[in-house]
Amino acid sequence: MTDVLDFAKRLIAAPSVTPATGAVFDAMEELLVPLGFTVTRFTRGDGETGTPEAPVENLFAIRRGPPGSKHFAFAGHLDVVPPGEGWASGAFEPEIRGDLLYGRGAVDMKGAIACMAAAVADVPEDAGTVSFIITGDEEGPALHGTRALIDWMRDHDEQPDLCLVGEPTSVNRLGDMMKIGRRGSVNIWLEVEGTQGHVAYPHLADNPIPKLVAMLAELDALVLDEGTDWFQPSNLEITDLEVGNTAHNVIPAMAKARISIRFNDTHSGASLSEKVVAIAKKHGGTALPIVSGEPFLTPPGAFSAIIAEAVKAETGVDPEPSTTGGTSDARFLRAVCPVIEFGLVNATMHQVDEAVAIDDLEALTAIYADMIRRVGEL
């Protein structure tokens, strides 16, 4: 088997706090070119560092199989969250202690990307076409990452048949869960304008706070749905309240709030936005929705069976098909082809001393290689 541990170390050693550019993509290209991949790298975004428009690097790589063969894509991100303080070793200085490899991105998700590359090294080209869809912005605004890659793929007529996103989906042990779907997400900023005045003369003012409170009470009481066969019920949460009034004797001129809705496939971002805008207007306010992603579901079938069979062959575990958890770039890739997520155990992702079991890296490499072969046989 190709040395997946070496691959993982090389990726971890390249600092890549979101949005990622440069060295970590150099390391990725150096892994893929010797394996027969044609690599394309590009940057999108021209804003200042620290803004949503900051430049993001992306990579698309492809190794073509025989004409007419299936095109199987691996997708993932090389950017990581900031390491934070208190690491026992350097966050970008990969270190083995016991049976674990430590470093930022070991689990989320440089480790899985190393497994993808090592898996391809163990599979001949005639098994089919394999590509990598790799972004430097999944942990951040995600404006110029996978969306930009999808635009590039469309412009260059690159169309995968199936896509595997290597997010850390396993919970207690490698292989116990795969994500066949995710709920959508919309965040909505609410405002109610009033008229500032003295609290002793309320008739000369217009207090926006009671209106906002009534609006939030109506929103909080909504029952959006009861869930579906594959999705839990949609939920609406109040995530911020802001008045900013430091004076105890002043009625404020403005009250603000923010809500977040995670929704299943009985809704769309647009339909929920329309509902909230109407309620806000009813209470004299405004609503600004921003949809982060729509829900997706890849119903159990041939693709999920391939993953389940590959996982069980290596680990003896039957992965649970799930739609729980947060969002991922699969919410964008759903528009390209059927997509499922499967990867490492997520116990330490985003934590200080993030670490992955070395045995899991080797096992996941074998699972990914088996998936490539099985897709090629479709």
Closest listed residue to residue 192, CA positions, set 272, 287, 273: 287
Q: Which of 108, 137, 138, 360 is catalytic?
A: 138
CA distances (Å), 304 to each of 108, 135, 310, 368, in order?
22, 24, 10, 13
Cα(59)–Cα(81) distance, integer angstroms: 19
Specify whether 237 is catalytic: no
Specify whether 377 is catalytic: no
Residue 88 has, within 13 A of its CA and on its CB side, a CA count of 9
Map tokens 């990598």 to a residue.
Answer: 132
Cβ proximity of 102 and 95 under 8 Å: yes
Strand ranges, E, within the chain: 38-44, 56-63, 71-77, 95-97, 100-102, 129-135, 162-165, 177-179, 181-182, 184-193, 197-198, 235-242, 250-251, 254-263, 285-293, 296-297, 320-322, 339-341, 355-357
* Alpha helices, H only, 172-301: 208-220, 269-282
Q: Which of 79, 139, 158, 341 is catalytic?
A: 79
CA end-to-end span of the chain: 25
Cα 160 from chain centroid (whole Å): 19
121, two tokens: 């090294």
Which residue numbers are catalytic?
79, 138
